[in-house]
A and B are shown apart, each in its own frame.
Chain A
Amino acid sequence: MARVALDRVRKVYRNGFEAVKPASFEIADGEFLVLVGPSGCGKSTLLRMVAGLEDITEGSLSINGREVNGVDPAERDIAMVFQNYALYPHMTVRRNIAYGLKNRGMAKDRIAAKVQEAARMLNLTEHLDRKPSQLSGGQRQRVAMGRAIVRDPALFLFDEPLSNLDAKLRNQMRIEVKALQRRLGVTSIYVTHDQVEAMTMADRIIVLNAGRIEQIGTPSEIYHSPASVFVASFMGAPPMNLMRGAIETGAVRLSDGTALMQAPAGRGGAVTLGIRPEDVHVGEGPADFDVALVEELGAHRLLHGEVAGQPFTAHVLKDSPLGPGRHRIGLPAGALSLFDPDTGVRL
């Protein structure tokens, strides 16, 4: 198993583009770390540097205390699962899974045993003699996983492994991948742009934005106390409500002047207020919510509209009688996040 440490790792592509700004973090043994962020934010670049597929421009990467900046991917004791699976199309499933072992000179009978074991774990036994083109997307995904697990690597790297699957299969595979990782206890870095995947699978999440780490934390920390406006709006569906507000005369107020809570000491002026839709008390409170649209989601409903002239969403249970119109709402102090309106950083 492995501990991984990045120390001010930075990537500048040959065309001068800085895809990853100096990033430092550590991954504990057996941890499932998810890198999440919008497309183009540098997640794959960061992962590929850990894999050794991309040179590290600056900084140091170490696995189990050994710096591996210059080490070949094959020597890093890692396995990687790619978004498009990257299976060898002309080889059977069996040979696909065995290829890495064969290249390492493992004895034939041991390879056969390991392939069998991996295939059993992934329900691929009856497909071992098929070609990848004869498999469904989910099965191909499993073969890619099989190729990774037979090697008993110290570190799993996943680059959006589920994003080519349909939604139902994705949910199922999400659970399978996570369960497998738990069972094998292998340290993993998992890249995704899907915040649901990040929230449900991660032990810890790193949120990336434009090559910069916005926040590192457990799913709960990231969700409940986002470190920036970016994290607040990126994580969670629907995202956190963000509104212009101000700290005036000892209170935090909406832009229409409604006082929400006591001002924290030593602050004043404009702030950005954030609150999760499910933390809003609909029915009573100091503010007015003009509901324009009700979104029916079965288990619950989302009310969309405006508060103090700004877009706002609240979450209510399925038997709530509330419909379009003006309602009073309360924004509990404990659930409110305050951000600096210029830098977007949490106050």
Chain B
Amino acid sequence: MAHIPTTSDRAPAPARLLAAGRRRAPRIRWGGLVDHLVLIAGALFMLAPSLMLLQMSTIPDEQIMRTGPSFQIGDRFLPNLDKALNESMSFSGETTGRNMFRNSMILGFGFAIGKIVIAMMAAYAIVYFRLRFAMLAFWLIFTTLLLPLEVRIVPSYEITQQLGLLNTWTGLIVPLIASATATFFFRQYFLSVPEELVEAARIDGAGPIRFFLDILVPLSRTMVAAMFIIMFVYGWNQYLWPTMISTEEGRFTLVQGIKQITQGLEGGHIPEFGRSNILAILAVLPPVLVVVFFQRWFVKGLTDTDK
């Protein structure tokens, strides 16, 4: 059909756009709707266990024993929260939620920060300095990827114990740090930084330390954020190693402490579901918050090429 000029054709551009928008508005895009339904269903599915925990922390423990999870919201949340945070589950009186939360934080932050600092410095040395056997050093570091702590746990424990580091933060964190993941990522990242940047800095009178602190570290900030998320969550979720190293109750982490539920079951009296549910939520919350807070950086860190 031949083109017939209409008013909207002759209207100035903005008006034409508006008209087009109005014409398109009532059309529902079914594809988009289906996408969203699938995503919402998936999100609910993933959220369900946490919501269940939350619900069960609001009703008395006896009722959980009798009916299990339900849709009823009770009034026990605040008392349970208080118990979880302030009451100890053991004789020593040191396994309060507050205490374990702090210990988990120390482990998570200590591990993430220690790992990032050491990895950045190691990668800096490997990439920017003409070291003898730099390649060999890198591959040696790299092979530690094949030896996660779980594989070398017996010798690691023995060394830690011989150094008298049982029940210390050092003994808990340092052996966990010894692995190449972050070093590898930072090495790849540094290799992609244009060489002219180093040269410009050299001519600008920046020595190796200045270059590292003034240029390389700020340039890597998205990468640091990405590493921080991964490492924090990894450290926070450690179970086996802390169980072996931290035997004093004052050093228990949240992830360690949750096993107390099952101990309650063995004891024959009603386990304190309400309290342990809150502890479980507490244990999930910080990693979630870290991811939510850093995710923008995370994506940038792994995909950004604007250097």
Contact = CB atoms under 8 A, between A and B. Distances in A.
Given A82-B199, A84-B196, A103-B210, A147 B204 contact: yes
Interface string A59-102: 00000000000001110001110111011111000000001100
Q: Is the interface of B mostly helix, strand, loop or mixed?
A: helix
Contact of A82 (B200, B215, B218): B200
A103 B203 CA distance: 10
A104 B205 contact: yes
A135 interface: no
Given A100-B205, A103-B205, A86 B200 contact: yes
Contact of B205 (A74, A80, A87, A89): A74
B121 interface: no
Interface string B228-239: 000000000000
Given A103-B206, A147-B204, A133 B196 contact: no
A51 interface: yes
Interface in B181-231: 194, 196-197, 199-206, 210, 214-215, 218-219, 221
B135 to A, nearest CB: 14
A72 B202 CA distance: 8
A48 B199 CA distance: 10
B306 interface: yes
A74 B204 contact: yes
B307 interface: yes
Contacts of B197: 86, 88
Given A89-B307, A103-B210, A84 B203 contact: no
A56 B177 CA distance: 42
Nearest to B306: A133
A274 to B, nearest CB: 39
A113 interface: no
Contacts of B214: 99
Contacts of A72: 202
A155 B294 CA distance: 45
B219 A89 contact: yes
A295 to B, nearest CB: 38
Interface residues on A, range: 20 to 34
A175 interface: no
Chain A CB count within 10 A is highest, among B199, B201, B214, B221, for B199
A6 B54 CA distance: 78
A160 to B, nearest CB: 12
Nearest to A132: B306
B150 to A, nearest CB: 38
A147 B219 CA distance: 19
Given A84-B196, A86-B194, A74 B203 contact: yes
A317 interface: no
Contacts of A89: 219, 306-307
Contacts of A104: 205
Contacts of B201: 88, 99
Contacts of A86: 194, 196-197, 199-200
Contact of B215 (A73, A78, A80, A88): A88
B204 A99 contact: yes
A143 B197 CA distance: 14
A104 B205 CA distance: 7
Contacts of B204: 74, 99-100, 103, 147
A53 B199 contact: yes
A100 B306 contact: no
A51 B198 CA distance: 13
B218 A80 contact: no
A25 to B, nearest CB: 22
A235 to B, nearest CB: 28
B203 A79 contact: yes
Interface centre among B202, B219, B221, B307 (most CB of A within 10 A): B202
A80 B219 contact: no
Contacts of A53: 199, 202-203
A153 to B, nearest CB: 9
B104 to A, nearest CB: 33
B306 A78 contact: no
A83 B221 CA distance: 26
B202 A74 contact: yes
B274 to A, nearest CB: 49
26 contacts: A53-B199, A53-B203, A74-B203, A74-B206, A79-B203, A82-B200, A84-B196, A86-B196, A86-B197, A86-B199, A86-B200, A88-B197, A88-B215, A89-B219, A89-B307, A90-B218, A99-B201, A99-B204, A99-B214, A100-B204, A103-B204, A103-B205, A103-B206, A104-B205, A147-B200, A147-B204
Across the A-B interface, the 8 shortest Cβ-Cβ residue pairs: A86-B196, A100-B204, A103-B205, A74-B205, A86-B200, A82-B196, A90-B218, A73-B203
